[in-house]
Amino acid sequence: MEQSELFSAPSPCIGVCENSPKGYCKGCMRSRDERFNWHQFSITQKLHIMKLCARRYQRMQEKRRQMGDQNFEFDFDDPTPPQLDLW
C-alpha cells in the first residue's frame, strides 16, 4: 500500500460546472475524462490530477496578467499532456 492510499482525495469540484471550448471545466480545471472517471481513479491518480489542475490554474492566471484582460477565453491546452496510466 502506498502512503497516498491512506488518505482520501475529495473531488476538486467547486460547483462552477461550465466547459471551456476544449472541454476543461472553468471551475475545477479538470478535463472531461478527469471529471467523468473521477470515482474510478486511485488516490494517487486523483492527487496527480489535482496537481495538473493547479498548473492549469496557474497558467490561466499568468495569461490573464500578460494580457491585462480579465475577460479572455483560456483554452487550457497543456503544453505537455499528462502521461498517466489511468485506464
Q: Which residue has the cell 502521461?
A: 83
Delimit the domains of the chain by residue range.
16-65
Summarised one tens digit per residue, pLDDT across range 3-54 is 555 667 888 898 888 888 888 898 999 999 999 999 999 999 999 999 999 9
- pTM of whole model > 0.85? no
CB contact at 8 A, 56 and 29: yes
Cβ burial, residue 83 (10 Å; 0-12/13-18/19+): exposed
Measured distance CA(75)–CA(62) in Å, rounded: 13
Give 19's strand partners: 25
